[in-house]
């Protein structure tokens, strides 16, 4: 058990940590071994407030980029080098021991070999050309507590003291500030992926190379042995009452900090932020270049939508206003739907829990493409059906610009309708699979199909209203004549 004493400069920078515990075996490891007196400072900082040296870990120097992210760490005679994109997203990590990790979005490579990629319930690992699922249980703070897999595909998770049959990969338990419990549950099953299993506290990557023992939490690096950040808070000016180095306002059981920018408590922080703007009468909100939410004018919102960026619409009549905004930004799109419908429906229940109004999000891409593509398929179906009708006495299909997604044609014959219904089975498979290709990997095709076809209607039932409508028009014309 650690028995730590923290020393600071005249401000909030940590200068020294002394451990009075008789044995420095676990947790914080002091440079003054065991009960030896700690007489010298352990930490130094650069002009921005980022830690440069750490005598306890043997860190002799850290270089930072313009985003206050470490680019080089000299530790224990070795070096860890980091590379980022222009926005600060980590792309590569090179350790002097010979390991190079590439971060290609959701896909993690080590020495040019794919290791794993995440799925909502855990990760998919790659070993010798074989992909297998590993599932993970997380607690209310997002900490990964248990990893397991069905290695023998029998539909059950076997728990056994025999490592050859045990399907529990790893169990982790944490102190409030993220340090793992030691002395039990030390076994790690080789059925898991060692790189993926480094995701632990908060679901973040634990960097144990060369004895660094930091968590990479996107915008900053965190030392769970101390419960402090090691570089400056990018949003420090928004929390002037708190030290920029403390973690989760020193209350990690209630608050979490998922990206190192700003802690938040229970509930959706975006919904809370939008609710505050709504009370101020602000209608439109969008992210700026730094990823912060800021009010925007209607003209700015329209410009963002035309560039396929997202805009949040708050306050009363948000659904109607979101649709109006989309139409004004996309006058050439015959579109009454916006991307916010999926987000809105998912967040309604959660909003009720925190007592905040839900919001709508209009987007410049997504739903209108789905709508136009669907119309195009109907038009193409009508054209193909028309080509199969060679007998003029059976009627005709009147279409204009069948390749134009805004024109679906008009059907005037029952026999032509039968031909279209026969052909339209291919339309169903297209309908079911188009969602993921247009909305992207974050939206399941089943969700999109359910939104547009909630009753799971067949092809004839989907297309029949179109034909019935045209028949009514034809009858009106006949009556007039």
Distance CA(25)–CA(165), nearest Å, equals: 32
Q: How many domains does the chain have?
A: 3
The larger pLDDT score, comparing residue 415 to residue 473, is at 473
Is 166 in contact with 99 (CB distance < 8 Å)?
no
Taking the alpha carbons at both ends of the chain, their separation in whole angstroms is 95
pTM of this prediction exceeds 0.75: no
Residue 55 placed within a domain: no
Same domain, 408 and 303: no
Same domain, 354 and 379: no
- Going along 65-129, which residue ranges are E strands? 70-75, 78-84, 90-95, 99-104, 107-110, 113-119, 122-127
Residue 205 is encoded by which pair of tokens?
A: 């990557």
Same domain, 102 and 179: yes
Q: Using the predicted structure, report yes or no on whether residue 206 has a pLDDT greater than 70.
A: yes
Same domain, 95 and 211: yes
Q: What's the pLDDT at 444? A: 47
Distance CA(280)–CA(252), nearest Å, equals: 31
Same domain, 118 and 138: yes
pLDDT tens digit sequence for 145-187: 999 999 888 999 999 888 888 999 999 999 999 999 988 878 8
Same domain, 110 and 244: yes
Q: What's the pLDDT at 341? A: 30
Is 247 in contact with 253 (CB distance < 8 Å)?
no
Q: Which residue, 310, 298, 315, is CA-closest to 358? A: 315
Average pLDDT of span 371-393: 46
Ordered DSSP codes for 132-192: EEEEEEE-TT--EEEEE--TT-SSS----S-TTT--EEEE--B-TTSPBP-SS-----TTS
Residue 43 placed within a domain: no
Using the structure block, give the residue that is written with the tokens 């939508």. 305
* Bridge partners for 80 per DSSP: 73, 95
- 407: domain range? 368-480
pLDDT tens digit sequence for 419-444: 555 545 555 555 555 544 444 444 44
Q: Which residue, 382, 436, 426, is CA-closest to 404? A: 382
Residue 448 placed within a domain: yes
Average pLDDT of span 5-23: 91
Q: What's the pLDDT at 24? A: 75
pLDDT tens digit sequence for 232-287: 899 998 898 899 999 999 999 989 898 999 898 877 677 777 778 888 888 888 87
Distance CA(198)–CA(335), nearest Å, equals: 45
Using the structure block, give the residue that is written with the tokens 């101020």. 280
Q: Using the predicted structure, report yes or no on whether residue 96 has a pLDDT greater than 80.
A: yes
Last residue of one domain, picked from the residues 335, 365, 395: 365
Residue 420 is encoded by which pair of tokens?
A: 């279209």
Q: Is 171 exposed, middle or buried (0-12, 13-18, 19+ CB in 10 A)?
A: middle
Residue 18 placed within a domain: no
Same domain, 116 and 224: yes
Q: What's the pLDDT at 99? A: 97
Residue 391 placed within a domain: yes
Same domain, 239 and 273: no
The kind and range of the H/E element at 228 are strand 228-229
If one counts every other C-beta atom within 10 angstroms of the C-beta of residue 385, the result is 24
Last residue of one domain, picked from the residues 198, 219, 250: 250
The kind and range of the H/E element at 277 are helix 269-279
How far is CA 461 from each of CA 249, 371, 402, 446, 457, rounded to the nearest angstrom? 57, 18, 22, 19, 6
Distance CA(248)–CA(246), nearest Å, equals: 7
Q: Residue 256 half-sphere exposure, CB side, CA atoms within 13 Å?
A: 16
Last residue of one domain, picked from the residues 313, 339, 365: 365
Residue 196 is encoded by which pair of tokens?
A: 């993926």
Q: What's the pLDDT at 453? A: 53
Residue 49 placed within a domain: no
Residue 158 placed within a domain: yes
Same domain, 352 and 400: no
Distance CA(92)–CA(80), nearest Å, equals: 10
Same domain, 102 and 150: yes
Same domain, 148 and 163: yes
Q: Using the predicted structure, report yes or no on whether residue 397 has a pLDDT greater than 50.
A: no
Same domain, 284 and 348: yes
Q: Using pLDDT thresholds of 50, 70 and 90, give the confidence band for residue 78.
A: very high
20: CB partners within 8 A, 6+ apart: 3, 4, 5, 35
Residue 70 placed within a domain: yes
Q: What's the 3-state SS for 296-361?
A: CCHHHHHHHHHCCCEEEECCCCHHHHHHHHHHHHCCCCCCCCCCHHHHHHHHHHHHHHHCCCCCEE
Most confident of 33-42, 108-117, 178-187, 391-400: 108-117
Q: Which residue, 430, 428, 399, 429, is CA-closest to 416? A: 399
């Amino acid at each position: 058990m650690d028995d730590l004493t923290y020393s600071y400069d005249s401000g909030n920078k940590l200068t020294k940590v002394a451990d009075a515990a008789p044995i420095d075996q676990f947790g914080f490891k002091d440079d003054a071994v065991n009960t030896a007196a700690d007489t010298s400072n352990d930490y130094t900082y650069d002009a921005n407030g980022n830690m440069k040296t750490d005598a306890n870990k043997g860190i002799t120097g850290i270089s930072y980029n313009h985003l206050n992210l470490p680019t080089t760490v000299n530790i224990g005679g070795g070096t860890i080098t980091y590379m980022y994109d222009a926005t600060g997203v980590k792309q590569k990590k090179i350790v002097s021991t010979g390991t190079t990790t590439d971060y290609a979005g959701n896909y993690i490579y080590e020495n040019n070999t794919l290791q794993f990629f995440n799925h909502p319930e855990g990760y998919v690992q790659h070993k010798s050309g074989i992909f297998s699922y590993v599932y993970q249980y997380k607690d209310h703070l997002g900490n990964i507590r248990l990893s397991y897999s069905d290695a023998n595909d029998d539909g059950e998770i076997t728990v056994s003291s025999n490592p050859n049959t045990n399907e529990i990969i790893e169990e982790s338990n944490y102190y409030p500030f993220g340090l793992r419990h030691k002395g039990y549950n030390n076994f790690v099953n080789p059925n898991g992926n060692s790189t993926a299993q480094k995701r632990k506290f908060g679901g973040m990557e634990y960097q144990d190379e060369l004895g660094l023992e930091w968590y990479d939490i996107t915008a900053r690096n965190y030392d769970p042995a101390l419960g402090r950040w090691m570089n400056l808070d990018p949003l420090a000016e928004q929390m002037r009452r708190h030290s920029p180095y403390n973690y989760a306002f020193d209350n990690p059981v209630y608050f979490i900090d998922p990206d190192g920018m700003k802690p938040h408590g229970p509930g959706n922080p975006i919904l809370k932020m939008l609710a505050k703007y709504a009370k101020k009468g602000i209608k439109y909100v969008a992210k700026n270049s730094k990823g912060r939410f800021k009010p925007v004018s209607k003209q700015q919102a329209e410009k963002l939508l035309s560039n396929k960026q997202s805009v949040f619409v708050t306050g009363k009549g948000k659904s109607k206003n979101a649709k109006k905004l989309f139409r004004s930004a996309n006058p050439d799109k015959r579109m009454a739907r916006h991307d916010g419908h999926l987000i809105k429906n998912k967040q309604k229940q959660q909003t009720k829990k925190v007592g905040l109004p839900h919001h709508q999000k209009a987007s410049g891409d997504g739903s209108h493409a789905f709508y136009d593509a669907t119309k195009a398929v109907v038009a193409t179906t009508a054209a193909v059906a028309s080509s199969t009708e060679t007998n003029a006495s059976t009627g005709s299909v009147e279409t204009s610009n069948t390749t134009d997604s805004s024109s679906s044609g008009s059907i005037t014959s029952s026999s032509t309708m039968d031909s279209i219904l026969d052909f339209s089975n291919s339309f169903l498979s297209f309908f079911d699979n188009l969602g993921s290709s247009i909305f992207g990997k974050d939206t399941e095709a089943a969700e999109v199909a359910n939104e547009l076809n909630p009753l799971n209607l067949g092809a004839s039932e989907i297309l029949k209203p179109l034909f019935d409508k045209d028949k009514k028009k034809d009858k009106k014309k006949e009556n007039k004549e």
